[in-house]
Amino acid sequence: MLTVSFLDIVKAHKHLRGQVIQTPLIQSAVLSGLSGADVWMKLECHQKTGSFKARGALNKIASLREEELARGVITASAGNHAQGVAYAASLKGISALIVVPKTAPETKKAGIKRYGAELVVHGDSYDEAESYAYKLAEETGRTFVHAFEDNEIIAGQGTAGLEALLEEPDFDVILVPAGGGGLICGVALAAKAIKPDVKVIGIQTHASPPWYYSFREKRLADVEYSDSLADGLHGGITQGNLDLALEIVDDIVLVEEEHVAEAMYWLAKEHHLMVEGSGAVGIAALLQGTVPDLQGKKVLTIVSGSNVDAAKLAGIVSRYSER
């Protein structure tokens, strides 16, 4: 059972000061004009390691006991959490073993190695990589650092929302990429504590929709997965994160893969940003009008990461430029 609180996020915010970048919060005049809302973007694509995941990893590893640190850490990830753990471990001078699925982008694999972690590629999905990582944790005695079902991880991720709301506390709606659930749970905790009537809405793709169906059925739903540009949102969720989200998240919506690609192109063209599919889903929802009743509202979207293979983004930009 998760017991993370707003106080934990405030403590994480204090601890992470100077260790993470206070990323820009910018207003998008172009997107505001297109959507009819007052749209702001929290640019976690400019965060250390290229995503918000560094926040949770740093906060978690700082909480470990000396004997846990001495044994080293292990995690499973689609890529961004892995880089965050590798980075945090390198600062502590401890060993990190990272398991990623075969689908992890090359840029994320390169980032993991750059921070000195040992990389293992296993399985066709996050779930398969995670199962193998748990097996290795038992065999090696390493401390497993979960990507999202963890109090310290959620508190760390929540600092992204807290930062945004300390700058602009009057958002009406916050759009958050929903993968495992660490970010959306953390942001929702921070947002509801500061402004209880703010609406927090998670975004997934049709290719990986466990939050969408589980949220509506109020139980872990079985869903089908397919390849997705939003690889960081690809995979299952846990009961702990679902139970927490059901208390503090207002809704989950889905966007199409084609709209994610269009949002990646739009961010490159209009804001000169290199954003991965997972980080662009909120923009996709705004461009397509997926979220109802936003006219005249002040809207925040978390642009959560930049770790996309350059060749993939170049292909998307080329395809849309020709239209």
Domains annotated on the chain, with CATH: 6-51+150-321 (3.40.50.1100), 53-144 (3.40.50.1100)
173-177 β-sheet, strand order: 25-27, 38-43, 298-303, 173-177, 199-205, 251-255
**Predicted confidence band at 183 (pLDDT cuts at 50, 70, 90)?**
very high
Evaluate whether 54 touches 81 at the Cβ level (below 8 Å): no
Mean pLDDT of 59-74: 96
Residue 87: both structure tokens together: 């980075």
Give dist(CA 237, CA 91) in Å, integer: 29
**Digit-coded pLDDT (tens) for 133-181:** 999 999 999 999 999 999 999 999 999 999 999 999 999 999 999 999 9
Q: What is the pLDDT of residue 138?
A: 95
Question: Could you write out the DSSP letters of every residue in 31-71?
Answer: HHHHHSSEEEEEEGGGSGGGBTHHHHHHHHHHTS-HHHHHH
Residue 102: both structure tokens together: 């075969």
Listed in order, strand segments (DSSP E) in 112-183 are 118-121, 143-144, 173-177
Model pTM? 0.95
**Main-chain dihedrals φ then ψ at residue 248, nearest 5 degrees:** -130, -10
Task: Give the residue numbers marked as catalytic.
Answer: 53, 304
Does 44 score more than 80 pLDDT? Answer: yes
Evaluate whether 200 touches 191 at the Cβ level (below 8 Å): yes
Burial class (CB within 10 angstroms; exposed 0-12, middle 13-18, buried 19+) of 233: buried
**Main-chain dihedrals φ then ψ at residue 193, nearest 5 degrees:** -70, -35
**Digit-coded pLDDT (tens) for 281-297:** 999 999 999 999 999 99
Evaluate whether 158 touches 11 at the Cβ level (below 8 Å): no
Give dist(CA 33, CA 38) in Å, integer: 8
Give dist(CA 249, CA 176) in Å, integer: 10
